[in-house]
Structure 1
C-alpha cells in the first residue's frame, strides 16, 4: 500500500523529451523543494493522524501573528503554504518508524520531506487550480444559443429576460448569466513519473497538470487497489 503522504511544489512549465525509441514525450517540470514538517497530529491529541507540511519560506512580515505563533511552537521558519496530509493508523506507524519515532516535541530538528519519498512510486496524483478564463458572455460561458441574425432583429447576443415577473420581482440566485469564469480546484490522477532530479529538486512527469507557471501543486502517490 502506498502512503498517502505527499509533498508540495510549483509548476515550472512544459517541454518535451525524447525516449529510447526517439518519440517526443510531452512532460511537465515541477519544482519541489523539501517541505518542513511543522506539526504532527495523532489520535490521542487531535482524534486522527496527520502530518502538516510547510512550503516556500517567506519573510515574517508576510504572515499574521497567529500563523507565526503556530510555527514558532516548533521553531519552524515562516512559510507561505501549509498543507495537511491525513494518515491511517498503519501509515502513521510506518511514518514514525521511518523518521525515528518523530514526535511533536522534537520537531525542532528541522526534519524535512523531499522528493525521495517518491523514489518507489510510479503513479502520482496532482491537485492544483486551473487557469481562469476571465470575463465572458453567457453564450461562451454557458453554451447558450444566439438570437436571429437577420435584419431587424434586436436580439443577436443579448441574454433575454432574466426576471421572474412581478412575483417575486427579483433575479434568482445562480441564474446563468455573463460573468467571470473562475479557476477551479482540479485533480489529475495516475500521472506517470518520468524522472526525479534530487540534486535540483525537480520532478518531471508525463502530460500536463492544472494551473499556470509558478502555481502551487499538491503531489501525492496514487492510491492502489
Structure 2
C-alpha cells in the first residue's frame, strides 16, 4: 500500500490544540493523485507507483508526456513523481489516491524545494563578517578577502570547497516528523504542525514518517 502522496503547499496559519495552545501549521492540498504507472519487481526490478497530481493543459506539455497520460487513461498532469514501495503494489493504473491515506497516520515527512535566493555574496550566503568599514577599505566591504594560498610547489591554488559567492536556495529539502493536526477530506487538505520548505503554491511530496509513528 502506498504511504505517500503528491501535493501543493497552500500556506501557513495557526490553530488551537486541545489545551488551547496556539500551534503554527502548514496547509497542504494533498491529492487526489492518479496512478500513472505501476512498477513491480517482475517487470522493473523494484516496486513503485508513479503518481500524477493536478491537471494541466495539453499545450503546456510535450508529446511524450501527453501520450504517457493517455496510456494511463488520465488527464495530463502538472506534477508527476515516483513513490517507492516495500511490497508489490495493489493499485492499478488509473486509480485515485486521496488524503484518506493519512487518516490513521500521526506523523509525516515532507519533501519540497526551498525558496531560491539567486546569486548572493559570502556575507549573505555564509555569514562572513566582511572587511572593515574604514582604515583604507574602498568599495570592498562585503568581499570575501583572500581566496588562495601561495605554495612553493603548487603556486597559487584555490582549495576545493572554498566558501565563495554563488547561487543560494532552490534545492530539495526534507523535513521530518510533522504531526498531523487535521484532515479536510472534502477539500483534500492536510494540516500539519510546523513549516515546510518552499513558497506557497510549490509542489511537495508527503509520506509517512520513517523515524516516528
Structure 2-normalised TM-score? 0.87
Return structure 1 stretches of 4+ with deviation > 6 angstroms. Answer: 167-173
Alignment of 1:85-164 (within 5 A): 85-89=83-87, 92=88, 95-96=89-90, 99=91, 102=92, 107=93, 110-154=94-138, 155-162=140-147
- Gaps in structure 1 of 5+ consecutive residues: none
1:93-116 CA-to-partner distances (Å, cap 9, x unmatched) read xx42xx5xx3xxxx3xx3100111
Q: Check conservation: 2:48, 2:83, Cα contact below 8 A.
A: yes
Aligned length: 209
Give the aligned CA root-mean-square deviation in angstroms: 2.4
Partner of 1:219: 206
Distance 2:143 2:59 in 1: 48
- Per residue, is there more strand in 1 or in 2? 2
Which stretch of the first structure deviates more once superposed, 175-184 or 195-204? 175-184
Partner of 1:84: 82
Alignment of 1:6-45 (within 5 A): 6-45=4-43
Q: Check conservation: 1:5, 1:86, Cα contact below 8 A.
A: no
User: By how many angstroms is 1:148 displaced?
Assistant: 2.9
Alignment equivalent of 1:75, drawn from 73, 76, 82: 73
Q: Check conservation: 1:32, 1:115, Cα contact below 8 A.
A: yes
With over 3 angstroms needed to count, the CA separation of the structure-2 counterparts of 1:69 and 1:164, relative to structure 1, is farther
Alignment of 1:163-174 (within 5 A): none
Distance 1:217 1:17 in 2: 22
Alignment pair present for 1:197 and 2:184 = yes
With over 3 angstroms needed to count, the CA separation of the structure-2 counterparts of 1:168 and 1:57, relative to structure 1, is farther
- Per residue, is there more helix in 1 or in 2? 1
Partner of 1:178: 165
1:114-158 CA-to-partner distances (Å, cap 9, x unmatched) read 111111111110010111233322122123332233332345333
Q: Check conservation: 2:108, 2:208, Cα contact below 8 A.
A: yes
